[in-house]
């Protein structure tokens, strides 16, 4: 597909039915298409199987929404989330759709700043703005939003968001003691009850077992992709890797896993033949830190435009989402929910204290991805990642790992400064 004829497809009638601000949203759609064309379709040596994911971007505001509306018609729940701690297996077990909602664009922030304070996380503002401005078809499709308590900005924004769309909150503890696990299991049960309430039927152990397999398979496919990115020369760009991790949050999970595996088959052939997207001399960078929600490709684009290749994302939209699997051997509901909770408790988000397992995990992924440097990425006002950065930096100093930390938001105003920093970091690695 060439840059010229790529577009994000328009579905104005469906959008009007979803009570969206159609003229405004249509502009955002065109802009996304242009940006995607420039950033993605101009890349050299892309794997052929990326065509599916290009199409997922093309249909992001149309085809995929249609599929979700079909599911909704049958009375199954459509649940919107903002965090990898919300167990999607439960929604899938109910026959529903769990979707990670929009929150990666500067375009919706002015809508949010009409009511929310300016000095809070751009992701939270962007997300709220998408609902307030009626410019996200996913937000317009969900039955409810299930938030969580992983940061103060989110926790308090849910109260305000609830005025626009029913919003429930899962309490995520801040420590990982036995009593926190007890609370967590109760919270998971409340979530299941809410999902069952919408679809007016109970989830069986067999349903849940099947859903656990489905989501495990999706996570395994992403693990496989990550392992292939360790090859040198890198068989796929970091931008494409990130895009796939972003699409994982809105695609149908069975089909998505199939397509990722099909791509991995192609990448395996590339690795065997020594074919890469960039030559072996390109500096290999691992990105670690806060999530990059679609269409936030800012840092990857800067890195790869400067001649590097991103080989790993240690992030919620990245390995934190798929590094752990749920034990598939449990057959009764209580044990399944316990196994599920145990898996979710392994996620090493900086909202926990202490959280030293993340520092070990970053080092482990640095080694397994065969990166040559770590770029720590923190969104502005994300206090927990910003402070935990100190420990990541200390670890890198101790291990002699080239390291750059940046704090930024979605605006383009600091691109010049970031470009200088990133190029200097690459000069440092190239020596």
Partner 1 sequence: MHIGIDLGSRTIKVVAFRDGELVDQQLVESGFDPYDQALSMIGRYDAKKIVATGYGRHLAKKHFAHEVITEIKAHAIGARHFFPDCRTIIDIGGQDSKVIALDQHGKVSNFQMNDKCAAGTGRFLEIMAASLGFRLGKFGAAALESGNEVAINSMCTVFAESEVISMKNRGIPVKDIAMGVHLSVVERLVGMLNRVGYGESIVFSGGVARNPCIVQLLQDRLGTVKVESNPSPDLVGALGAALHAGYQQEV
- Bridge partners, 99 (sequence order): 80
Shortest distance, position 31 Cβ to partner 1, whole Å:
23
- Contact present, 378 and 407 (Cβ < 8 Å): yes
Measured from the CB atom, is 189 or 421 closer to partner 1? 421
What is the strand order of the sheet 97-100 is part of? 97-100, 78-81, 144-148, 167-170
d(CA 362, CA 286): 9
d(CA 79, CA 3): 34
- Contact present, 277 and 44 (Cβ < 8 Å): yes
Measured from the CB atom, is 144 or 425 closer to partner 1? 425
Measured from the CB atom, is 82 or 425 closer to partner 1? 425
Shortest distance, position 409 Cβ to partner 1, whole Å:
9
Shortest distance, position 429 Cβ to partner 1, whole Å:
10
Measured from the CB atom, is 288 or 408 closer to partner 1? 408
d(CA 18, CA 229): 39
Q: State the residues that interact with partner 1 by CB under 8 A.
A: 407-408, 413-414, 416-417, 420-421, 423-424, 427-428, 431
Shortest distance, position 413 Cβ to partner 1, whole Å:
6
Kindly compute the dihedral angle of the four CA atoms of residues 148, 151, 155, 156, in this order, to the nearest 10 degrees: -170
Measured from the CB atom, is 23 or 416 closer to partner 1? 416
- Contact present, 148 and 83 (Cβ < 8 Å): yes
d(CA 363, CA 369): 10
Measured from the CB atom, is 183 or 390 closer to partner 1? 390
- Contact present, 317 and 292 (Cβ < 8 Å): yes
Measured from the CB atom, is 193 or 424 closer to partner 1? 424
d(CA 318, CA 222): 9
Burial tier of 248 (Cβ tally within 10 Å: 0-12, 13-18, 19+): buried
d(CA 117, CA 152): 13
Measured from the CB atom, is 330 or 408 closer to partner 1? 408
Shortest distance, position 424 Cβ to partner 1, whole Å:
4
Shortest distance, position 20 Cβ to partner 1, whole Å:
33
- Contact present, 267 and 235 (Cβ < 8 Å): yes
Count how many Cα atoms sit within 13 Å of the Cα of residue 145 in the half-sphere of its side chain. 27
Shortest distance, position 214 Cβ to partner 1, whole Å:
43
Measured from the CB atom, is 61 or 381 closer to partner 1? 381
d(CA 94, CA 210): 11
R_g (Cα) of the chain, nearest Å? 21
Measured from the CB atom, is 164 or 415 closer to partner 1? 415
Shortest distance, position 428 Cβ to partner 1, whole Å:
5
Shortest distance, position 42 Cβ to partner 1, whole Å:
16
Shortest distance, position 383 Cβ to partner 1, whole Å:
16
Cis peptide leading into residue 233 (ω within 30°): yes
d(CA 76, CA 237): 37
Measured from the CB atom, is 175 or 424 closer to partner 1? 424
Shortest distance, position 403 Cβ to partner 1, whole Å:
8
Q: Which residues have CB under 8 Å from 177's CB, separation 6+?
A: none
Structure tokens at 149: 């308590």
- Contact present, 367 and 401 (Cβ < 8 Å): no
């Amino acid at each position: 597909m060439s840059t010229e004829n790529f577009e994000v497809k328009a579905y104005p009638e469906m959008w009007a039915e979803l009570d969206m601000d159609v003229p405004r949203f249509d502009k955002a759609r065109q802009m996304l298409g242009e940006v995607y064309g420039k950033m993605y379709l101009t890349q050299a040596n892309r794997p052929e199987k990326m065509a599916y994911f290009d199409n997922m971007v093309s249909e992001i505001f149309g085809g995929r929404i249609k599929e979700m509306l079909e599911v909704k018609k049958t009375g199954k729940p459509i649940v919107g989330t903002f965090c990898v701690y919300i167990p999607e297996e439960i929604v899938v077990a109910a026959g529903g759709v769990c979707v990670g909602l929009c929150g990666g664009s500067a375009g919706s922030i002015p809508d949010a700043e009409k009511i929310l304070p300016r000095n809070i996380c751009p992701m939270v503002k962007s997300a709220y703005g998408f609902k307030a401005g009626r410019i996200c078809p996913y937000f317009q499709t969900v039955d409810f939003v299930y938030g969580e308590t992983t940061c103060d900005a989110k926790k308090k924004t849910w109260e305000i968001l609830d005025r626009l769309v029913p919003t429930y909150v899962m309490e995520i503890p801040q420590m990982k003691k036995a009593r926190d696990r007890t609370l967590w299991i109760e919270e998971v049960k409340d979530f299941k009850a809410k999902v069952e309430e919408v679809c007016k039927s109970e989830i069986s152990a067999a349903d849940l077992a099947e859903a656990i397999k489905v989501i495990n398979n999706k996570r395994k496919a992403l693990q496989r992709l990550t392992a292939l990115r360790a090859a040198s020369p890198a068989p796929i760009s970091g931008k494409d890797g990130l895009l796939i991790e972003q699409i994982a949050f809105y695609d149908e999970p069975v089909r998505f896993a199939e397509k990722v595996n099909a791509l991995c088959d192609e990448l395996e052939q590339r690795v065997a033949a020594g074919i890469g997207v960039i030559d072996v001399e390109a500096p290999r960078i691992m990105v670690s830190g806060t999530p990059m929600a679609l269409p936030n490709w800012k840092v990857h684009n800067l890195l790869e435009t400067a001649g590097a290749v991103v080989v790993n994302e240690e992030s919620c939209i990245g390995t934190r989402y798929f590094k752990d699997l749920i034990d598939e051997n449990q057959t009764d509901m209580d044990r399944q929910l316990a196994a599920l909770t145990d898996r979710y408790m392994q996620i090493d988000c900086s909202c926990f204290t202490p959280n030293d397992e993340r520092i070990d995990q970053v080092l482990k992924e640095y080694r397994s991805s065969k990166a040559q440097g770590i770029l720590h990425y923190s969104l502005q006002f994300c206090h927990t990642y910003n402070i935990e950065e100190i420990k990541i930096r200390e670890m890198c100093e101790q291990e002699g790992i080239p390291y750059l930390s940046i704090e930024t938001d979605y605006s383009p105003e600091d691109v010049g400064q970031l470009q200088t920093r990133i190029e200097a970091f690459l000069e440092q690695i190239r020596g």
